[in-house]
Amino acid sequence: MEPTNLIPAVSCSGVTKAYGSGDTRTVALRGVDLEVRQGELLMLVGPSGCGKTTLISVMAGILDQDAGQCSLFGQDMKRLTPAQRTAFRGRRIGFVFQAFNLVPTLTVADNISLPLLINGSPRRQARERSIACLAEVGLAGREDAMPSELSGGQQQRVAIARALVHEPDLVVCDEPTSALDHTTGLAVMDMLKNLVVRGGRSLVIVTHDSRIFHYADTMAHMDDGRIESVRPGAATGEHS
């Protein structure tokens, strides 16, 4: 094991977060301690409203916690200026959303190339990388299609290609399979697990979908703003 691998991908301790103030104040996180190792697939499960989305938002540096500390690859996100944090996110994190969030007016290739363009890659190079990445998710030749011309499963595969095209170290997914049928969901999970974890990257997946639990190296159960338990997942045997 290389020494850098000892640094956890994500390390949260005592993270709290509340929304609103006064009567409408909702506490979403009540002191969360959680670690995600490099090369690990961690699944975050728990009842609706328990704070899963809030937690991965903090972990990915798109939401500020109220208290506690959260580091990504040893970097305390609170110590960065907003501009530095944005740039850090752009280089090292990939996102997959429940609602895909593909830009409907852009072609598949343009959608995939967004993270590269944001990081300053030249257009040509970004397009070539995108097309290669599209082939990796099994959609070779569809680069000039519009998102609306694809099925839900295909759109989520495009979204996965977009999350991976810039080779991030951490990929966070919020309910990546909940908009997909069972078979498509499994295919998408296979793809995610292969492309992310195989490359030594870390993957955090929020899900309700028990049919995909067996992909997890680690299962973190959440309830009411706290981590209740962290246990090895069904996939632990294969990967350790």
Ligand X SMILES: Nc1ncnc2c1ncn2[C@@H]1O[C@H](COP(=O)(O)OP(=O)(O)OP(=O)(O)O)[C@@H](O)[C@H]1O
Q: Give the residues lining the site for ligand X (CB under 6 A).
A: 19-20, 26, 28, 48-54
Least distance (Å) between residue 120 CB and other proteins: 9
From Mg ion, other proteins, ligand X, none, interface partner of 28 (C-beta below 5 to 8 A by class): ligand X
- 86 binds other proteins, rule: CB under 8 A: yes
Least distance (Å) between residue 44 CB and other proteins: 12
Restricting to residues 31-60, which ones interact with Mg ion according to CB under 5 A?
A: 53
How far apart (Å, rounded) are the C-alpha atoms in residues 143 and 62? 29
- 143 binds other proteins, rule: CB under 8 A: no
Half-sphere exposure of 32 (CA within 13 A, CB side): 35
Task: State which residue, 158 or 173, has the beta carbon closest to Mg ion.
Answer: 173
| Secondary structure of residue 98 in the 3-state scheme | coil
- 114 binds other proteins, rule: CB under 8 A: yes
Choose which of 46, 50, 95, 227 interacts with other proteins (CB under 8 A). Answer: 95
Choose which of 16, 97, 128, 236 interacts with other proteins (CB under 8 A). Answer: 97
Half-sphere exposure of 26 (CA within 13 A, CB side): 9
- Contact by Cβ (8 Å): 231, 205: no
67-72 and 202-206: which strand pairing? unpaired
> Residue 89 has which token pair?
């996110």
- Contact by Cβ (8 Å): 165, 115: yes
- 178 binds Mg ion, rule: CB under 5 A: no
Using alpha carbons only, what angle is made at residue 100 by residues 93 and 119, rounded to the nearest 5 degrees? 35
Task: State which residue, 4 or 24, has the beta carbon closest to ligand X.
Answer: 24
Provide the binding-site residues for Mg ion, judged by CB under 5 A.
Answer: 53
